[in-house]
Amino acid sequence: MITNEQFAELTRRSKKLKTYLEIDKKQILIQNEEEKVANPAFWNDPKGAEIIMKNLRTLKKWVQDYNTIATQIEELEILLEYYKEGEATEKEVDELHNKVVLLLEEVEFRNMLSDEGDSLSAVLQITAGAGGTESCDWASMLMRMYLMYAEKSGYL
């Protein structure tokens, strides 16, 4: 069961995330970009329009994810009140708490990987050294582990 300290920690992390992500600034940028898109001459430069649209989608995704987190934290607060009154189960509270924590951690992690070069691809090469069959087996096990991790994380 979630404690008051855990709920306070979620709220604190959410507020810090809003600061890190500069949500207010992003909302202003979204409005400015949407004004550009509404201009009939916007599509005269397809390459420039594509860059602006990609930037707009990225900004909207960040704001949408943050708003989802904030909404779910509010829902968790309401569900906690229902639980105290006996109208909700501990399982429901725990499920929503786990869902909020996972989403918050995902957005925090994505924020850490949001620098200029972080969206670029990477190449990983695993080479078996001296050791014959055993080193080849070890290299293939490592490769399989990295592939499974990348697929699970949505990198492939």
Out of 66-75, 121-130, 140-149, pick the least confident: 121-130
Query: What whole-number distance in Å separates Cα of residue 90 and Cα of residue 44?
Result: 57
pLDDT, average across residues 66-82: 94
Determine contact, residues 73/10, Cβ cutoff 8 Å.
yes
CB atoms closer than 10 angstroms to residue 100: 23
pLDDT over 70 at 119, yes or no? no
- Tokens matching residue 48: 């420039």
pLDDT, average across residues 29-45: 90
pTM: 0.74
Q: What average pLDDT does the structure give for the chain?
A: 89
Q: Which one-letter amino acid corresponds to residue 74?
A: E
Buried b (16+ CB within 10 A) or exposed e, 13-45: bbeebeeebebeebbeebeebeeeeeeeeeeee
Residue 118, pLDDT score: 64
pLDDT over 90 at 123, yes or no? no
pLDDT digits over 102-118, tens only?
999 999 988 887 766 66
pLDDT digits over 90-105, tens only?
999 999 999 999 999 9
pLDDT, average across residues 36-51: 88
Domain 4-118 has CATH 1.20.58.410: yes
Query: What whole-number distance in Å separates Cα of residue 86 and Cα of residue 33?
Result: 47
